[in-house]
Chains A and B, each alone.
Chain A
Amino acid sequence: MGNLFSEDSIVNYDGLKMNKKNIKSIIAQNSSDKPVVACFPLYPPVELLSSMNLYPIVLWHLKGFISNLLESDLHIQDYACSISRELIQFVLSAPDKMLDGIFSYNACDTLRNIPEILTYKSTARNQDIPMFRMHVPQVNRAQSNPNMYLADEISNLIACIERTFSVQFSSKQFLQTTRDYAKMRGLCQSAENYVARGQLSFAAFCDVILSGYFLPIETQIDNLSKLISQQTKRPLTGKNLMISGIMPPPTPIIQAIESSGMCVVANDIASLKRSYAYSPEPTDNPEDYYIDFFRNRFPCTTLLYQSDVRADNFIQMIKHYDIRGVIFSGEKFCEYEYFEFPYLEKNLKDMGVKSLILEFAVNDVQYLDAHITRVEAFSEMLDK
């Protein structure tokens, strides 16, 4: 299995190879001449974009695609998170014509400013990449009803895409695409169950799911099916561990976790569980679909209205999976995650569950030995 964060290879799974040198050809191969729309942050309306004959990719986990931050460092300070810095670097150093559009919705205080940074530089390079934006309401659903507003945002987005790319929304195609995404998310759940039983490695699981952010839905389904078929019959046992964070830890850390006798029986990771755990019922109505999608989705720190359910859900997961230890995979400068750590840590302590916070920044993947030692020590603590 390839190393997600290595310099050369992002994924090397069963014939699927993606690396920074061939990202353009990977995208070209898969796009079949469809316009490529790069999206951020993590929960864009990919179903809608796919159904309108576009090729959405989600700009997350970009370390492997970039070799430095030279371009990004000209536009954003070093106290921004690695996600934003790598995202800027990826887009601004992407080969000409690789991206046909960029979609973003309101997220954190840093990411919301990035569309204009990208526009500013792209315009300077005479590459006017169309920008699509939408505001996901953050109101507390118990206090305000944002459904009409959100429905209108979706309608506007559809109209904007139709105008820009000369495509037509099809409710029939949308229904089919929502079925595909539901299937993909179901396969993610199945794979997670095998990981929880020790029949699949968490590292392989991460590689396949995260690579999916750059692949068409059909390929994602195919890769997940292949992954599941590789489950071992004999479950491995380990100490029940949950990992929480915006992104999973770098692969060497995951390998250290698995080799030190811990089993990742649950995850609360934004680009994993928080992304695939809920899929609305397939429908031909995009407004209804996204109202459901944002109302009922698995809680995430980045969706402000989910605060209460997020904390409760986290604690329920600890109980449900009989978790003995939690590793927080901290993304340095991610305020949304860091504001919650003390509260969650306190609750874990009260429940007798041990926790460890690992913090990863831009260059930390080169200096992981100290983190690996901490993981090994943490595993020993769980024995007591």
Chain B
Amino acid sequence: MATMKSQAGRHLTQIMTQGYMDLHDKAAKGAFCVWIAINVPAELFSGFDNVVYAVPESHAAMCAGKGIGALMCEKAEDIGYSMDLCSYARIDIGNTTDNGKDSPTFGLPKPDLLVSNTNNCALLTKWFDVHHRNWKIPHFILDTPFCYTPQSAKNREYIVAQCHDLIHLIEDLSGQKFYEDLFMAAVQKTWNGIVAWKNFLNTAKNRPSPITAFDSFVHMAPFLTLRGSNALQAHFTLLADEAHAKMANKDYPVPNEKYRLFWDNIAPWHQLRKMSKRLAELNANIVGASYTSCMGTIEGSFDLHVWDETNPFDYIARTMNAYMCPHGMELRQASMQKAIKDLSINGVIFASNRSCKPYSVTQMDQKKMCNVPSVMIELDHADVRKYSEESTFIRIETLLERIL
């Protein structure tokens, strides 16, 4: 089974490495390069012959996962950026101070256009403004209204109109033409991939679970950087197949799984290995996470929003409201309650994340609404300096004691 697991792991390394190499290579050869926020619909760029995109948030997470998050943050702090600002932003800004000297991907190619949006976090527009001002590069803000209730038709039309504005802007700036059929094909590939992803996540319903949320944290990266590609579809299919094989072979990451936990917030990138190992020793498995369950979904449920294969603009406008941050508390609660039931969760870890206020500021009330034992821990998703392993585990162990 170890071989099968490593197959998906190796495949991930291969496609991510290739993805970054292609990105650098194509940008160096003149491709129009766009930097985007994670829920900007990257399939749009597949509608052009030679447009590539980079995702600074994903790159920052990778840096944190490789253990250099704090180092990169300090570079930004050294030029005046407050330690209170999002650590992804500090890593990214720090990375640009020395052209990616310490980056595992040699940084990111300099963009021709920045595209932020306002729904996951509005601060991302301020972060991209830093580059916009420093490099004099255009910055397009994709304004996505926050959802206290499910997205309205009016808001969907508003988002679609902006997608067309973005296309026109790229056509003007790059001199390239947009082909809707290419875009549509990319949406189809993303859809195929996300169906496989959901298949992978759903294996966690099995007791014991053949996967952990840490697997989903690690393997979600292609959804951010390889959207609309064959590689995305292939990887998530492989991942799902592997999880099913593990289940068939009774190969479980936490064989004596006693505690089935749910994680709410961004992954603790600097702690993945340590935290999963220590939890396993306690017979605890974080089997689901709002952060990775929400991919491809919409407000109020972690069920996939179905692509009807007719209107790609409508689909991307609708699923721009995937992720948790663009939703109000009631909608988040509805999604989580269903997941708690579906996954037979008996404890929730609310990770109060100093670098992600949009994810965190309703957690105190959500915790009160939770119908299973829960605990709140403090961390920063990418800055290890704001994390204490011992105090975290004291809290988690206290949670486990409450779960009988």
Chain A contacts to B: CB under 8 angstroms: 74-77, 79-80, 84, 106-110, 112-117, 120-121, 133, 135, 137-140, 143-144, 146, 149, 152, 301, 304-305, 307, 311, 332-333, 335-336, 338-343, 345-346
Contact = CB atoms under 8 A, between A and B. Distances in A.
8 contacts: A74-B364, A77-B360, A109-B121, A116-B148, A116-B328, A135-B146, A146-B143, A311-B133
Contacts of A152: 154
A299 to B, nearest CB: 12
A140 B328 contact: no
Interface in B51-67: none
A147 to B, nearest CB: 12
Contact of A304 (B122, B330, B354, B364): B122
Given A140-B140, A304-B122, A339 B130 contact: yes
Interface stretch (B19-27, B76-84, B269-277): B76-84
Interface stretch (B33-41, B101-109, B161-169, B307-315): B161-169
A72 to B, nearest CB: 10
Given A76-B361, A113-B328, A340 B126 contact: yes
Interface string B148-170: 10000011001001100110010
A112 B326 CA distance: 10
Interface string B206-241: 000000000000000000000000000000000000
Contacts of B169: 143
Given A116-B328, A120-B365, A343 B141 contact: no
A303 B216 CA distance: 36
A74 B123 CA distance: 25
Interface string B351-367: 01010011011111100
Interface in B325-351: 325, 328-330
A305 B145 CA distance: 14
A304 B140 contact: no
B140 A336 contact: no
A75 B122 contact: no
A133 B148 contact: yes
B139 interface: yes
A312 B352 CA distance: 37
B122 A109 contact: yes
Q: Which 5 A-B pairs have the closest CB atoms?
A: A342-B80, A339-B126, A109-B358, A116-B329, A135-B145
Interface residues of B, number: 50
Given A138-B141, A143-B166, 8 more contacts: A77-B361, A79-B357, A80-B357, A113-B362, A116-B328, A144-B161, A149-B158, A343-B133
A143 B140 contact: yes
A91 to B, nearest CB: 14
Contacts of B82: 338, 341
Interface string B78-92: 011110111001000
B301 to A, nearest CB: 18
Nearest to B138: A143
B125 interface: yes
Given A113-B328, A140-B140, A75 B123 contact: no
B127 interface: yes
Contacts of A307: 125-126, 129, 132-133, 139
B139 A75 contact: no
A19 to B, nearest CB: 29
Contact of A144 (B84, B130, B165, B330): B165
B336 to A, nearest CB: 14
Nearest to B366: A120
B118 interface: yes
Contacts of A79: 84, 354, 357
A113 B80 contact: no
Contacts of A138: 118, 122, 125, 141, 143
A108 B122 contact: yes
B362 A116 contact: yes
A113 B361 contact: yes
Contacts of B360: 77
A138 B140 CA distance: 10
A24 B329 CA distance: 30
A110 B82 CA distance: 17
Contact of B365 (A75, A80, A107, A135): A75
Given A133-B148, A144-B162, A144-B165, A339 B123 contact: yes
Nearest to A301: B126
Interface string B109-125: 00000000010011101
A138 B357 CA distance: 20
B72 to A, nearest CB: 16
A132 B305 CA distance: 29
A275 to B, nearest CB: 20
Nearest to B328: A116
Given A76-B364, A120-B365, A305 B141 contact: yes
Contact of B361 (A80, A106, A137, A144): A80
B197 to A, nearest CB: 27
B330 to A, nearest CB: 7
Contact of B123 (A77, A113, A332, A336): A336
Nearest to A131: B148
Nearest to B329: A116
B108 to A, nearest CB: 19
Given A77-B364, A113-B329, A144-B161, A139 B354 contact: no
Nearest to B76: A342
A343 B80 CA distance: 9
A257 to B, nearest CB: 23
A253 to B, nearest CB: 20
A102 B341 CA distance: 35
B123 A335 contact: yes
B329 to A, nearest CB: 4
User: Which of A75, A84, A143 has the most C-beta atoms of chain B within 10 angstroms of its own C-beta?
Assistant: A143
A133 B147 CA distance: 11
A79 B330 CA distance: 22
B357 A110 contact: yes
Nearest to B326: A112
A116 B361 CA distance: 11
A135 B154 CA distance: 12
A6 to B, nearest CB: 27
B7 to A, nearest CB: 39
A114 B357 CA distance: 12
A175 B290 CA distance: 49
A184 to B, nearest CB: 29
Contacts of B80: 341-342, 345-346
A214 to B, nearest CB: 25
